[in-house]
Chains A and B, each alone.
Chain A
Amino acid sequence: MNHMHMKINDATQHGKVGLIPFLPAGFPNREQFWKELEALDKAGAAVIEIGMPFSDPVADGPVVEKASLRSLADGIDLNWIFTELKARKGQFNAALLLMGYLNPVYQYGLEAFGADCEAAGISGLILADIPHEESQFVKDAIEPHGVALVPLIGLNTSRERMQLYAENASGFCYFVSVLGTTGQQKALPDRIKEKLAEAKAVFDIPIALGFGIENPAQLARFDGLMDAAVFGSALISHIESGKSSAEFMQPWA
């Protein structure tokens, strides 16, 4: 069983939702980033998503985009991410996941990327611009290293397509709560329920709900239909306003 799956199971077996915070690598700056990660880990994150900055993040909303572009301007790249992670291998209780877009990974070299993920203790990968149709060459490069390609599905994903993703999927399934980009909504639409139930029936790995999530109260309606929650924009804004990650995580504990 993939490490991310295990960590989310740990939470759900205790009657909790698995917590999946997202931060762009190097945010808010190089040193502080690792302190935030340690704090998120201590506060009980099941999986921590580390953003790999990209110049053209089409699936991201303004908050994530701005934070990522700032990291990019600071010179954060895959070399930095892997070097720093290798130095900290084994120090995190949470499973670690890299999130980004294909091109930087493609230029790094997929084989080298897979090997470095393993060496750095990464157990999952999200590439926002890789649908099922283009996923095989990515899987071939990372799966031998124990890294799962996390499928993203949403309100417009048919059951048929869910089944395509469910075949051999490991880690968890990321359910995008909106038709849109990250961090752009306040109210989660009711039709999420129906689609979540469909996903629950199709996937035998945990389902994480993400995009536009900022507090546990939003999730009460989806009890039993999801196993984990991803939050990015809300956490980034919280840190930007000078508050701590630990404080953000508290209501979820």
Chain B
Amino acid sequence: MKKGYFGDFGGQFIPELLMPPLIELEEAMQTILPSEEFQTRFIQMLKENVGRPSALTYCRHMSEDLGLDLWLKREDLNHSGAHKINNTLGQGLLAKMMGKEVLLAETGAGMHGVATTVAAAMLDMKAVIYMGAEDVVRQAPNVNRMRLMGAEIVAVESGTRTLKDAINEAMRRWLADQENTHYCFGTAAGPHPFPELVREFQQVISKEARQQFMDRTDGALPDVVVACVGGGSNAIGMFHHFVPDASVKLIGVEAAGTGEPGCDNSAPLNLGSSGVLHGMKTKLLQTDAGQIMPSHSVAPGLDYPGVGPEHAHLQDIGRAQYVTINDNQALNAFVTLSRREGIIPALESSHAVAYAIENKDALKGQSVLVNLSGRGDKDLGILDRIL
């Protein structure tokens, strides 16, 4: 396979001026990442600061309600509230050891921005966060958290004013500031080596979950593993150690928006086609003329017209299946998990939970392990609309 590719997908479709920092990063992955110093410090941070291993929770009430065994991998219990912190501490430490002083990031829901800000504070670095102006309004609690912890926040007014445009602007900033700045990319997408690098830091999710599940079930594996897919980092982290287990069905859940035919959505694997954006060849929401279409989801963290290349590949070879859940189904799951289990999921993760609810008949009697990628505190503003 060509370097930086997953089958047909991946690559490095970026301006030449960004190749030197990408090559520098790739070298750091080969030299610094495997070093004992890095590994020791990283594992210690995950334990001491993030709270890993995160719990595996059996949902007693919902399992009864649905007629299946529902398990949650609790990334919502991580410090700062989502899986994003695994990646930002990893990239932050790597950048620090590369001699960088600034962590630059884009953010949609704000969770990656918060996690980058935490990493910067812990590592005595500066955080610069690009966020679509629309998302700045939608996810105000996270903006406040970032401000409190000292991040410089840039509200992006161009384009659709969401994650896609935040990525464009962050790439421009990185072009200009590449000497001191590491672009702490927030998901398993973008140009090589980001998809591999982010997966490396997120695979801890399935490494833990697989062992925890087997410990609780006398060595059995789950029948189905489910995760929501925005850029695809929590999903690839959740899938990785199950990929060789042929008996385990892998389900990625994309956001269908309102779900009406032709509506704006965030489901490139289901409703998109092959193309090139943000440094990678992948599945995209685009017009016939190759212009990127606006995306939509009630969950800002899923609101992205592309997806990490490894997911496009897993879909291509039939190893993972990608389905859609619409806004209302996700909101229903948001409320249901809160009421039945006392766990408030992020709207992003609610899409994954909704898969189990909506497919309860087909899943009857099976064990379904859902990655709860984050907690819903940031989404409480939306309650005014639904309750």
Contact = CB atoms under 8 A, between A and B. Distances in A.
Main secondary structure of the interface of B (DSSP, over half): mixed
Nearest to B171: A58
Nearest to A79: B289
A152 interface: yes
A104 B291 contact: yes
A67 B275 CA distance: 24
B199 to A, nearest CB: 20
Interface in A17-64: 54-59, 61
A224 interface: no
Interface stretch (B8-16, B123-131, B226-234, B321-329): B8-16
B354 interface: no
Interface stretch (A83-91, A129-137, A225-233, A238-246): A129-137
Contact of B13 (A102, A108, A151, A176): A102
B277 A130 contact: no
A77 B14 contact: no
B36 interface: no
A130 B13 contact: yes
B13 A107 contact: no
Interface residues of B, number: 32
Contact of A132 (B16, B17, B164): B16
A161 B19 contact: yes
A16 B91 CA distance: 49
Contacts, number: 105
B16 A55 contact: no
Most buried by A among B165, B277, B279, B292: B277
A188 to B, nearest CB: 15
A220 interface: no
A181 B277 contact: no
Contacts of A161: 16, 19-20
A56 B12 contact: no
Contacts of B89: none
B291 A54 contact: yes
Contacts of B290: 54, 103-108
Contact of A156 (B11, B17, B158, B279): B17
B276 interface: yes
Most chain A CB within a 10 A radius of its CB, from B164, B165, B276, B279:
B276
A141 interface: no
A218 interface: no
Interface stretch (B65-73, B172-180, B211-219, B259-267): B172-180
Contact of B17 (A65, A72, A179): A179
23 contacts: A58-B171, A58-B278, A59-B15, A78-B289, A102-B13, A103-B286, A103-B291, A104-B291, A105-B290, A106-B275, A107-B289, A128-B15, A129-B14, A129-B279, A131-B14, A131-B18, A133-B12, A152-B16, A154-B16, A156-B17, A179-B17, A179-B176, A180-B172
Interface of A: 54-59, 61, 65, 72, 77-78, 101-108, 128-134, 151-154, 156-158, 161, 165, 176, 178-181
Q: Which 4 A-B pairs have the closest CB atoms?
A: A107-B290, A104-B290, A180-B176, A103-B290
